[in-house]
Amino acid sequence: MNFLVLHGPNLNLLGKREPAIYGSETLAEINSALEKLSAELECELSFFQSNAEGELINAIQAAAQNCHGILINPAAYTHTSIAIRDALSAVGIPCVEVHLSNIHSRETFRHSSLVAPIAIGQICGFGRDSYLLGLRALFNYVKN
């Protein structure tokens, strides 16, 4: 099985970006933890990060070719992007939404997600583990 891991804007800055909120791990370290888990689960991952909404949408559309699921941290686009939600709906590939921080315990503008209603589920607040739990959940969902 192939899964696409999508990271939205500013997640390329992880490690240096507001470490009190997002932790001190880099995106490369999170991706490498996911790679390790994928070896255990025996699935293939591809990774993509972009600060641009259109590039994330292009990646979602391209995933329709060969991808069984999408693990996505849409970052700030979670709260604003109808276009990313529409792209996920259009391709119809199961997706799990993840966040490092607990978006529900932060500013009110972060409490709503445009993606969550069309995702299988949302995992937030566990730092890197949100991604690892998300991949396990997505894998089990697709497998079953």
Q: Return the active site residues.
A: 22, 99
Dihedral angle sign, alpha carbons of residues 107, 132, 142, 67: positive
Taking the complex as a whole, how short is the minimal distance between the CB of residue 124 and ligand DQA, in angstroms? 7
Residue closer to ligand DQA, measured from CB, 2 or 10: 10
Give residues 27-86 in contact with ligand DQA (rule: CB under 6 A): 73, 75-76, 78
Stretch of 40-48, 49-57, 80-88, 100-108 contacting ligand DQA, by CB under 6 A: 100-108
Question: Under DSSP, is residue 121 helix (H, G, I), strand (E, B) or coil?
Answer: strand
Residue closer to ligand DQA, measured from CB, 13 or 64: 13
The arrangement of strands across the sheet holding 2-7 comes to 44-49, 2-7, 69-73, 95-99, 121-124
Partners of residue 45 on adjacent β-strands = 3
137 binds ligand DQA (CB under 6 A): no
How far is residue 94 from each of residues 3, 97, 118, 134, measured CA to CA in Å? Answer: 10, 10, 9, 12
Structure-block tokens of residue 58: 């292009």
135 binds ligand DQA (CB under 6 A): no
Contact with ligand DQA (CB under 6 A): which of 31, 33, 110, 141?
Answer: 110
95 binds ligand DQA (CB under 6 A): no
